Amino acid sequence: MESKKNPKYDLRRNSSLYFVIGLALILFIVWRAIEWKSYEKNTYDYEQLDVTDDDDEEVPITEQIKTPPPPPPPPSAPEVIEVVEDDEEVEETIIESTETDQEEIIEEVVVEEIEEEVDVPFAIIEDAPIWPGCEKRPKSARRNCFEEQIKKHIKKNFRYPEIAQEMGIQGRVLVVFVIDAEGQIVNIRMRGPDKNLENEAKRIIELLPKMTPGRQRGRAVRVPYSIPIVFRLQ
């Protein structure tokens, strides 16, 4: 037997969908009812508080007066006063005057003059230093004799440093030294292109003999002297 109902008008077809929509709507209404809050109306209004100057109380300024402490009581006098006789002898101290008498003899103070060492250049000194053996020559020829002998001394003791030869170092070393008042060679200074050449020049000058010191106005003085030493490779 065939059903006479039209499937388009079947009310049970979407019943599950309607049920879900109704359930969601009910849950939403219940959630809003739970979250609903009500506030009581405050019957109090804010009022402005007026503060006038009449409420300020003036506090009088008081000054604390400090009273000084009472003075200490006077010391009490001893009950018994003993009288002691002044029988002991007191030694008097005699203070002698430190002023000198005009008749005193004032000792003479002798001031010794300290002779200052003066450097007189070789070119202008009156009596130039004398190389050993040059004193036999006339006084006018001793200066030239000194210069000749020092050149011979340099040629005789000259040695070219091996390190300078290997490195090809050459140049001119200026040596300055002083012949002191005793004829000794002091204060040797060098200036050259290399330290090895300077050391060799110093070694040569240190071998100079002791000389007769130079004199200026009859007094032995220090005489500075300078001479160049040329190092040249051949």
Query: Is pLDDT at 211 greater than 80 in this prediction?
Result: yes
- The confidence score (pLDDT) of residue 178 equals 95
- 197 Cβ partners below 8 Å, 6+ apart? 161, 164, 169, 170, 171, 173, 231
pLDDT at residue 70, rounded to an integer: 76
Alpha helices in 74-223 (DSSP H): 142-157, 162-167, 195-206
Per-residue pLDDT for 223 more than 50? Answer: yes
Give the integer Cα–Cα distance in Å for 208 and 215.
19
Against a cut of 0.85, is the pTM above it? Answer: no
Whether 177 shows a pLDDT value over 50: the answer reads: yes
Tens digits of residue pLDDT in 62-116: 556 667 777 777 666 555 555 555 555 655 555 555 665 555 544 454 555 555 6
Q: How far apart are the first and last CA of the chain?
A: 146
Residue with tokens 């002898």: 89
Share above pLDDT 90 across residues of the chain, in percent, rounded to a whole number: 43
In tens, the pLDDT along 182-202 reads: 999 999 999 999 999 999 999
Integer Cα distance of 116 and 222 in angstroms: 11
> Contact at 8 Å (CB) between 165 and 233?
yes
- Average of per-residue pLDDT values in the chain: 77
- pLDDT at residue 51 above 50? no
Burial class (CB in 10 A: 0-12, 13-18, 19+), 150: middle
pLDDT of residue 203: 95
Q: What percent of the chain has pLDDT over 70?
A: 63
The string of DSSP codes covering 64-102 is PPPPPPPPPPPPPPPSSPPP----S--PPPPPPP-PPPT
The pLDDT, as a whole number, for residue 140 is 87
Q: How many whole angstroms separate alpha carbon 194 and alpha carbon 172?
A: 9
Fold (topology level) of 134-231? 3.30.1150
Q: Does residue 44 register a pLDDT over 60?
A: no
The string of pLDDT tens digits covering residues 115-138 is 567 789 999 999 999 999 999 899
pLDDT of residue 40: 59
